[in-house]
Amino acid sequence: MAGVWVFNNGVYRLESNSRTRVLVHLPSDEVVSSYSSLDRILRGLGWERYYGGDPDLYQFHKHSSIDLISLPKDFSKFSSVHMYDIVVKNPNVFHVRDM
């Protein structure tokens, strides 16, 4: 993880550099730029929308596993943490790239 550690008000935090990260669907080489495109791809992989959780989250689950993908409703808050969660739960299907 690249960045600079900053100490402020008794708390250390990592400030990342200005690189933008994007989630890429490897089979199509498509950059995921909206929840509608992510929804389409995940449904094709067997994921379903989950409506039983927090109303402030956009969630997906698979009947064949205990995994749950939880994303912020606002796509502008979709961060690399969420991207890597998707990558781990869908090996060899997604990749996070620096732009």
pLDDT in tens, the chain (99 residues): 566 778 788 888 877 666 789 999 999 999 999 999 999 999 999 999 999 888 899 999 998 899 999 999 999 999 999 999 999 999 999 999 988
How far is 47 from 9, CA to CA, in rounded Å? 42
The CB density around residue 85, as the number of other CB atoms within 10 Å, is 16
Determine the pLDDT at residue 16.
66
Determine the pLDDT at residue 23.
97
Q: CA distances (Å), 93 to each of 6, 11, 33, 65, in order?
A: 35, 37, 16, 17
pTM: 0.79
